[in-house]
Structure 1
Amino acid sequence: MVLQMWEFRDPDDPVFDSVEVYANEPTLFSLEIHHGGEFVNKPRRKYVKGKVSYVDLVDSDTFSVHEVDGMMQELGYLPDEVMYYSYKIPDKDLDVGMKAIAGDMDVHNFLHYVQKFKLIELYIEHKVTKLKTYFQSPNQGSSVIIEEIDDSGPYYPCSRRLQLEWFEQVDEGVVSEHVNEGVVLEHVVEGVANEQVNEVVVLEQAVEGVVNEQAVEGVVNEQVVEGVVNEQSVEGFV
């Protein structure tokens, strides 16, 4: 069991000096969590109507999406509440610097910034998301881009957090595999059918050959019988 090191910063405490505290702790960092609000995109993206909470002593060796879940529960949010987690790349703005945290690959990319920057901004969206980056899967290297959702038509999710495995693409691949197997099976069946038809034709020809052979034998026998009759007739005439 991994022990929890992180803790929420007391708003009444003096300013937290992350440079000094983390000087000899390369794996530790702090989060600036923006929660309870939403993004607006015009004229430029902003996070409005929210609160800000700080979490210190977060360890990159144990950091995961589940740890963010625990932080949100300590802030008073319910475990089954639909939320989307995104962080801002340091030195970039909210328009171009947003990245999702939804799965292991997202966390892996996130931790690259922690090595240099000790305070990372984390933004929480509740019930709906307006960030197109949340639907781009780094885990699968997908080239699919879903257009950003505007304020008039938000997206309503059916799960608490998307793991971004692009199951739809996986499902389509499985369906295609089954279809291909069905085509191959059909060809195999047709091949067997053709083989059986060929066997029937050969058998039919063989049967016809036997019939013809018997017919020829019948003609020969008939001619022999006729020869015997003719011979007897000649003997009688003589």
Structure 2
Amino acid sequence: MAFKVLLHHYGRFISPSGRKFVDGIVATVDPVELSNFSSNQMKAILTKCLGYDENSAAFLYMKKPNRSLDLGLVLLDDAIQDIDSIVTYTQTYQNLLHVYVSRGVIPTCCGDQLEDGGKRKKKTDKPSCSKKLFD
């Protein structure tokens, strides 16, 4: 099964309630094969394609379909443990998976304020990555 990842990055989460991801950009990773999908591969894209420092802390979250960012964020590592959830989420989003990058810590219950520990880079043209990173 192949799907497309919309990688929301260089932005930051604002505090709940009504949490949003602001000042960010979206990188499209397409196609992604479910059998090769991992958080390590997403981190490789962040460093090799998008210019993130591999030593800086970055937390990856997946957004559940039809949920707000206040209630729908799940750690990507946790979601990958349950492959059926990835299949369900991508089918609900018409083969799209929304992944968010946080440079600070955001609790899975989404009840605390996010610490913005990362520096944003200047916005440039929309980045993209190729399947070669997954081979």
Distance 2:116 2:27 in 1: 26
Q: Which runs of 5+ in 2 are unaligned?
A: 118-135
Percent identical across equivalent pairs?
23
Distance 1:94 1:40 in 2: 10
1:58-69 → structure 2 map (5 Å cutoff): 58-69=32-43
TM-score (normalised: structure 1): 0.43
1:57-96 Cα distance to aligned partner (Å, 9 max, x none): 1000111111111111111111111100001111222121
Tell me how many residue pairs correspond in the alignment: 112
2:48 counterpart of 1:87: no
* Structure showing greater Rg: 1
8 Å contact kept, 1:32–1:119: yes
- Counterpart of 1:129, as a letter, is V
TM-score (normalised: structure 2): 0.72
Q: Which runs of 5+ in 1 are unaligned?
A: 1-26, 134-144, 157-238
2:96 counterpart of 1:122: no
1:31-81 Cα distance to aligned partner (Å, 9 max, x none): 111101111124510001111111111000111111111111111111111
Match of 1:185 in 2: none
Q: Which has the higher contact order (CA 8 A, sep 6+)?
A: 2
Distance 1:97 1:114 in 2: 11
Q: Segments of 4+ in structure 1 off by > 4 A?
A: none
Over the residues paired in the alignment, what is the CA RMSD in angstroms?
Answer: 2.3
Give the number of the structure whose residues are more often strand, by fraction.
Answer: 2
2:13 counterpart of 1:39: yes
Give the number of the structure whose residues are more often helix, by fraction.
Answer: 1
